[in-house]
Amino acid sequence: GQQVMQIPQYQHVQEGEDFTTYCNSSTTLSNIQWYKQRPGGHPVFLIQLVKSGEVKKQKRLTFQFGEAKKNSSLHITATQTTDVGTYFCAGSGFSGGYNKLIFGAGTRLAVHP
């Protein structure tokens, strides 16, 4: 079936340490989106990657899309307490829905000061 796997499930870091979450799809994606969900909140769009091998940066966040368009990663440099939340990747381009997003289970990030 259509699946997006995300690891790790949970990451616990000290403030200032780096953090990376990885996303893998069972099939080739047309694009991948990343969302952040704060505790008790709703998913908020961060970025979208469309091209094979694409790399995008947002301040301390670096997003990559694999050459085969089946995997992606989000790297946060020097984490801050404001980075706390769950990071979801969501793949698009699966059959059965032109804009259907399949979400990974998320990586929950805890940052200790």
Partner 1 sequence: EAGVAQSPRYKIIEKRQSVAFWCNPISGHATLYWYQQILGQGPKLLIQFQNNGVVDDSQLPKDRFSAERLKGVDSTLKIQPAKLEDSAVYLCASSLVRTSTDTQYFGPGTRLTVL
List interacting residues with partner 1 (CB under 8 A). 4, 6, 30-31, 33, 35, 41-45, 48, 50, 88, 90, 92-93, 96-106
CB of 37 to partner 1, least distance (A): 9
CB of 106 to partner 1, least distance (A): 5
Using the minimum distance from each CB to partner 1, give the nearer residue, 100 or 112: 100
Distance CA 94, CA 27 (A): 8
Using the minimum distance from each CB to partner 1, give the nearer residue, 3 or 81: 3
Strands 55-58 and 61-65: antiparallel
Measured over the CA atoms of residue 29, residue 70, residue 64 and residue 19, the dihedral's sign is positive
3-state DSSP call for residue 109?
A: strand
